[in-house]
Amino acid sequence: MLHIGKRFFNFNQLPAVIDRLDQDLSLYRNALSLRSQRQELLASNIANADTPHFKARDLDFKAALGAALGARGAATGGQLALSRTSAGHLAAEGGAAAGAGVQYRAEYQGAVDGNTVNMDVERAAFAENALQLEALIGFVNHRFRSMQSAIQGQ
């Protein structure tokens, strides 16, 4: 046992504490992963605004987060379980964000070259997602400060 402030800590309880912290932070981890994936998709759309036949893509954040936190996500700590059917397959990276909810954006105005990127829509979505990503990072920082305060007994 370790004496921390006015409390004693039993090291035998450490795995349970770590599991609890992991469960508590899984929503934030998945949301940050999906927000960053959406930011990459929107940046790709903007970068390919002049590419002939490029189809704009976006992420349905609500559906992707729901899928990441659904029954399969809860059983695997918030990560999507992917099976490797061959020894040559690489392990999946990105967890919940790996391709979940990516869709083609609806075409607002047809272009002669077949490109579906609407710069006004893309810029607005990029700015909105950046604000939501920044707010989410603020929530995570506040959560860590709260945990640190609780650990220090203040």
Contact 97, 41 (CB under 8 A): no
pTM of the model: 0.69
Does 123 or 81 have the greater pLDDT score? Answer: 123
Q: How do residues 3-23 score in pLDDT, each as one tens digit?
A: 455 565 566 777 777 788 888
CA distance 92 to 81: 9
Average pLDDT over residues 105-114: 82
Q: Model confidence at 84, in pLDDT bands (50, 70, 90)?
A: low
Sort residue 5 into left (φ over 0), alpha (ψ -120 to 50) or beta: left
When mean pLDDT is compared across 35-49, 73-87, 100-114, 131-145, the lowest value belongs to 73-87
Q: Model confidence at 148, in pLDDT bands (50, 70, 90)?
A: confident
Where are the domains positioned within the chain? Answer: 29-82+93-152
Is residue 74 scored above 70 in pLDDT? Answer: no
